[in-house]
């Protein structure tokens, strides 16, 4: 999983990647500071979590046009939201290099904790409701410096192409650093994807990234935080040398910061952007310089950011019936027990007009199939129950939404969610206002990884339930 720093966390988890971020001796000695090993996910797991990499789940700022697309998904077994970064082949053309780092084969995927509150780029350059407050900008700078110091202390001082897109905000509004930049090496010569004007000068000369290169990129981020724009370092340094640093400041911040604080941050940015790498501060020095500048330290980040606390709830906020609750948890045993207990009372009023000829020639066999199916359902012999209920349904002489519901439950317990969804939908066709049909659809949708649709279907079932009780 992701490696958490003291304040600003590393949030990317590589799919099919063994961790090389920790010293195994730390783990053996039980050190609480040791970085946890990375998890492996199967491609099927990630397909299910993202509804088959559905375009509706794309959260990349440039959508499908992004060179490497990020999908929102949910690991059902853990009730955890994730982000899945999917690389196209041209983005990482050397498959041997990727295999060395991720052992991922044809699919190039990285898995991360989902960050619901966008990137620093979004909040600085493309804000809609309010510009980022000065206190929050200072906090981002400090947390980022702490993260880089932490990584350096763990032997991971190199970070490739540090920029405002690599900093994301979690549900509490705290900034997080994508650890993808810790993994990629520079042999492809393309470690810096930003405009060359923002690239460390030594990288342009040698094609290699050093810890001092990371500090240079940190300096460009300080300029972003100061100005609310992406200003080329050369232009910024010209303004600083001419003592026109106030021209660097974001006009939206006017009156909200002291000149002394602004001057100190400009000085720090200038030191980070020195042409000679040896003249730049190290990460520990950055933390020391930024700590005394912090403002409103008791205010939570989400307050400073002006965002709701936490992500929008993915849980049903209204009271669910026991069946609805079981379906929301995908508790298949409870679903089976509830359907068995309820029996066929909800079939009352379903029209089954039968001719005398049908009764004498066919109905007895149909009823026997249903009876055998019910016995198998009670005995939890789900393959037999499916077979008998199918015989009843195919007979076509009677319709029963409960039979479809029971067969749906059998399909779920037999790991056949697509068939289960079909039965739940058929039960709804027969009985359009039956909450059970909607609840079971939700369970099937959860099984298929279609979580947003499942939540909406749960709401529909709950609304029908409430309407029924009002009447």
Q: What positions carry a catalytic annotation?
A: 161
| Cα 151 to Cα 162: distance, rounded to the nearest angstrom | 13
| Cα 13 to Cα 15: distance, rounded to the nearest angstrom | 6
> CA 222, 225, 227, 229 torsion: positive or negative?
positive
Q: Residue 72 phi/psi, 5° resolution?
A: -85, 140
Please report the beta strands in 405-452, taking only residues with DSSP state E, as ranges in sequence order: none
The string of DSSP codes covering 393-453 is: HHH-S---HHHHHHHHHHHHHTT-HHHHHHHHHHHHHHSTT-HHHHHHHHHHHHHTT-HHH
Coil, strand or helix at 169: strand
Beta bridge partners of 250: none
Residue with tokens 């040791």: 34
Contacts of 447 (CB under 8 A, 6+ apart): 76, 330, 412, 417, 420
What is the distance of C-alpha 49 from the center of its chain? 10
| Cα 419 to Cα 423: distance, rounded to the nearest angstrom | 6
Q: What is the 3-state secondary structure of 355-381?
A: CHHHHHHHHHHHHHHHHHHHHHHHCCC
Which letter, b or e, does each residue of 281-304 get, where b requires 16 or more Cβ atoms within 10 Å of its Cβ? bbbebbbebbeebebeeeeebbeb
- Please tell me what DSSP assigns to residue 133: P
Q: Which of 93, 15, 91, 3 is nearest to 49 (CA)?
A: 15
Residue with tokens 């990375």: 38
Q: Which of 81, 161, 169, 82 is nearest to 119 (CA)?
A: 169
């Amino acid at each position: 999983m992701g490696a958490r720093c003291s304040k600003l966390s590393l949030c990317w988890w590589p799919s099919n990647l063994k961790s090389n971020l920790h010293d195994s001796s730390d783990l053996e000695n039980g050190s609480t500071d040791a970085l946890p090993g990375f998890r492996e996910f199967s491609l099927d797991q990630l397909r299910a979590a993202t509804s088959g990499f559905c375009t509706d789940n794309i959260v990349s700022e440039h959508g499908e046009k992004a060179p490497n697309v990020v999908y929102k998904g949910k690991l059902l077994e853990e009730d955890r939201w994730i982000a899945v970064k999917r690389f196209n082949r041209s983005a990482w053309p050397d498959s041997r290099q990727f295999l060395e780092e991720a052992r991922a084969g044809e699919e190039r995927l990285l898995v991360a904790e989902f960050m619901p509150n966008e990137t620093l780029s979004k909040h600085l350059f493309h804000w809609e409701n309010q510009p980022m407050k000065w206190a929050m900008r200072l906090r981002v700078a400090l947390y980022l410096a702490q993260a880089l110091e932490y990584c350096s202390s763990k032997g991971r001082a190199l970070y490739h192409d540090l920029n405002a897109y690599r900093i994301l905000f979690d549900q509490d509004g705290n900034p997080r650093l994508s650890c993808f930049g810790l993994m990629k090496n520079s042999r492809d010569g393309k470690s810096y994807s930003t405009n060359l004007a923002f690239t460390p000068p030594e990288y342009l000369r040698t094609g290699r990234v050093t810890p001092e290169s990371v500090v240079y990129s940190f300096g460009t981020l300080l300029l972003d935080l100061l100005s609310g724009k992406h200003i080329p370092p050369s232009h910024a340094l010209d303004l600083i040398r001419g003592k026109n640093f106030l021209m660097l400041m974001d006009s939206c911040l006017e009156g909200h910061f002291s000149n002394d604080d602004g001057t100190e941050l400009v000085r720090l940015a200038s030191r980070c952007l020195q042409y000679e790498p040896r003249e730049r501060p190290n990460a520990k020095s950055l933390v020391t310089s930024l700590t005394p500048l912090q403002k409103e330290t008791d205010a939570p980040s989400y307050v400073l950011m002006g965002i709701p606390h936490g992500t929008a709830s993915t849980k049903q906020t209204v009271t669910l019936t026991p069946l609805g609750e079981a379906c929301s948890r995908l508790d298949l045993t409870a679903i089976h027990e509830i359907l068995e207990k309820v029996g066929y009372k909800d079939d009352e009023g379903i029209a089954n007009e039968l001719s005398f000829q049908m009764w004498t020639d066919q109905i007895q066999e149909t009823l026997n199939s249903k009876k055998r199916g019910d016995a198998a359902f009670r005995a939890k012999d789900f393959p037999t129950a499916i077979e008998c209920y199918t015989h009843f349904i195919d007979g076509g002489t009677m319709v029963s939404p409960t039979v479809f519901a029971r067969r749906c439950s059998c399909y779920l317990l037999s790991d056949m969610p697509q068939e289960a969804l079909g039965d739940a939908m058929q039960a709804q066709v027969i009985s359009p206002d039956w909450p059970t049909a909607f609840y079971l659809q939700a369970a099937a949708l959860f099984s298929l990884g279609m979580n947003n649709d499942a939540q909406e279907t749960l709401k529909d079932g709950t609304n029908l339930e409430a309407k029924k009780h009002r009447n």
